[in-house]
Amino acid sequence: MSKINMATVLLIGAIALTGCSSDDNEAGNESAATPSTVSVPTKTPETPEAPEVAESETAVAVAERLKASVPTISAITEVTETNDSNGLIGRPGQYTSAAWIADTAADPSETGVDGGAVVEVFATPEDAQTRSAYIQETLASLGPAFGTEYHHLDGAVLLRVSGVLMPSQAIVYEQAFTE
């Protein structure tokens, strides 16, 4: 009789363990997973995604290019971790470099887009597009009293031009950006 009880206990234990080895590991205990249920990452650390933008193409470099064609640009300020009012530089999915452009046709004493324009460089074009869409949707939902911006994308680079500037002035930025 003890052999039958022992067999029953082993059978129940085997069934219980089989139920615990499913892919749906709710307890988060990774060590309980069998080799057939361990997920393998699609990317390995040895092969990181290559940035879409050349390292030399910083926001300041783009802003300097714009300054050569836009006569109302009075100054360029590199955005760093210390002065970034948004606190986004270097964060996942956010800009890797940025530059504030002071324009005499806006308020050059202001920082960010309020001063004239901003160049933001991202790791991928998708990140730049996501940022642009977020800003445009937010401004649209708040209404024109909260400002407008002209956005121009070139790969992983986003140029944001203040809506305070006249459309003809914004076109000068666009033309300089797309040259």
Q: Which residues of 98-108 are buried (b: 16+ CB within 10 A; e: fewer)?
A: bbbbbbebbeb
Give every residue of the chain whose pLDDT is below 70, as ranges. Answer: 1-56
For 64-88, the pLDDT digits (tens) are 999 999 999 999 999 999 999 999 9
pLDDT at res. 179: 86
pLDDT at res. 26: 42
pLDDT at res. 53: 42
Q: Is 100 helix (H, G, I), strand (E, B) or coil?
A: strand
Strands 157-162 and 149-154, how do they pair? antiparallel
pLDDT at res. 27: 44
pLDDT at res. 82: 96
State how far the alpha carbon of 101 is from the alpha carbons of 23, 136, 140, 171, in Å: 52, 19, 23, 16
- 160's enclosing H/E stretch is strand 157-162
Task: Tell me the whole-structure pTM to 2 decimals.
Answer: 0.69
